[in-house]
Structure 1
Amino acid sequence: MKRFICVISALFILSIAHQSFGQLEKGTFLVGGSMDFGKVDGEYSKSNSYLAQSGISSKIFNFNISPDVSYLVIDRLSIGIMLPTSYRIEEFDGDKTKRFKFSIEPRIRYYIPFGNWALFPELSYAIGKEYSRADFYSPLTGDFIEDKKLVANSNKFSFGVGLSYFITKNVGLEGTVYIDKSENKYDEDDGRLDGDITSAGFRVGLQIYLANKE
């Protein structure tokens, strides 16, 4: 009798899972977006003797909005692209810099469903441009430059783990914890050194699942 009850319970759970996660089947499009915020600690080129001697570091508060579209190439595995746009304020030895960045970021994600939830790890890589304006000291030239406008080429590798809750069959509310490793490269004429930045944070998002009806 107990074995019979266990078999019936297992079939019932599988039936619910099948009904709940049809949106994670091959051929489904995902359209949505996310917002995130986080604290960033920066490290700059080791060849920069000025920063090394002065012990200067940077603290950054970053706000990012990122629309995205993805496609499930097989069940539970999506490949897509994000268009992150960010605005941040960086405090560098007491001086503030305002930055704007736009990127193109391909992403791969795998869903592990349970109940009305789905756990997912994800990987992404972004390339983009960053525009900034600030007063800053150039260790390369020894000059203090006022209201300098800079342009940098940027790239970023990101890993995250998230959780999606399906509030309806076709709508999922997401939360993701992530860690980024990014690099900015400036033109030599700008008198600014390249920088490597590691950041961690939390973002929330919403996905709409558009199943391919055949």
Structure 2
Amino acid sequence: MKKLIFAGIFATAGVLGTASAQIQKGNWLVGSSLVTSNFGLNTGGGYNIGIQPKGAYFIEDNLAVGGYVDLGISKVTNGSPSEFRYAVGGLGRYYLSPGEKGVDNLLNHGRWFFEGNVGIGGRSVENGNSTTGLDFGVGPGYSYFITPNIGLEGLVKYQGQSGFGNEGLNSNISFNVGFSIYLPTSKGKQVVNDLKN
């Protein structure tokens, strides 16, 4: 009976602590935004679908740096020209702690974060405008941990591309839905072993 009670306490502590263990120094984040809704700020803005794989390493607790790739295609309406989007670069993510700056944790199973990216990218519209150059973005997001190592994410982001081509600046606000897998390192494993003992 004592073992069953101890197991219940350990499981409860593990669930309540999941929003902290994944974002410790030395851990890895691997994930992707799978669905992107784009609300164009320029003429002709519409909806698009893309995939945005990313990977990052936690250099400090709550702070990860890494890279991203962005590939997407869209059409505003039937019969309209296709648009192809591409980018590659670096990203940074900062997770807010519960109570930090007046932001409380939603249901104690997730974390608010801010993400920023800078890289090289472009946009090409069939028989239309194109831009190639600096790709940049910034915005808030939320990661809800469905398991100790997997988070469902929503991210609202201002995304822009500036550079060469027919169109000097292209920008939009996007809403991204995806997931992240948090891979613990030996430090994360040691914390789990300390909790068991």
Normalised TM-score (structure 2): 0.73
Structure 2 distance, partners of 1:128, 1:20, is: 33
Structure 1 distance, partners of 2:163, 2:21, is: 41
By how many angstroms is 1:130 displaced?
3.4
Kept in 2, the 8 Å contact 1:83–1:103? The answer is yes
Report what 2:74 is aligned to: 88
Q: 1:112 to 1:152 in 2, by over 3 A?
A: closer
Structure 2 distance, partners of 1:198, 1:40, is: 7
Kept in 2, the 8 Å contact 1:41–1:60? The answer is no
Structure 1 distance, partners of 2:170, 2:19, is: 40
Q: 1:89 to 1:126 in 2, by over 3 A?
A: farther
Secondary structure of the 2:83 match is: strand
Query: Runs ≥4 in structure 1, deviation > 4 angstroms?
Result: 14-20
| Residues 118-139 of structure 1: CA deviation (Å, up to 9, x unaligned) | 01011111312434322x6xxx
Which has the higher Rg, Structure 1 or Structure 2? 1
By how many angstroms is 1:15 displaced?
9.0
Report what 1:126 is aligned to: 119
Q: Does 1:117 align with 2:110?
A: yes
Aligned residues: 165
1:26 maps to amino acid: K
By how many angstroms is 1:31 displaced?
0.9
By how many angstroms is 1:60 displaced?
3.3
By how many angstroms is 1:107 displaced?
0.8
CA RMSD of aligned residues (A): 2.6
Q: Does 1:40 align with 2:58?
A: no
Structure 1 distance, partners of 2:81, 2:15, is: 52
Q: 1:116 to 1:155 in 2, by over 3 A?
A: same
Normalised TM-score (structure 1): 0.68
Kept in 2, the 8 Å contact 1:70–1:80? The answer is yes
Report what 2:84 is aligned to: 100
2:87 maps to amino acid: S
Report what 1:185 is aligned to: 164
Q: 1:63 to 1:184 in 2, by over 3 A?
A: farther
Q: Which consecutive unaligned segments of at least 5 residues does structure 2 have? A: 1-12, 98-104, 188-197
By how many angstroms is 1:20 displaced?
4.5
Q: Choose between structure 1 and 2: higher strand proportion.
A: 1
Q: 1:79 to 1:132 in 2, by over 3 A?
A: same
Kept in 1, the 8 Å contact 2:15–2:148? The answer is no
Report what 1:207 is aligned to: 180
Structure 2 distance, partners of 1:204, 1:19, is: 20
| Residues 115-162 of structure 1: CA deviation (Å, up to 9, x unaligned) | 21101011111312434322x6xxxxxxxxxxxxx8641322211101
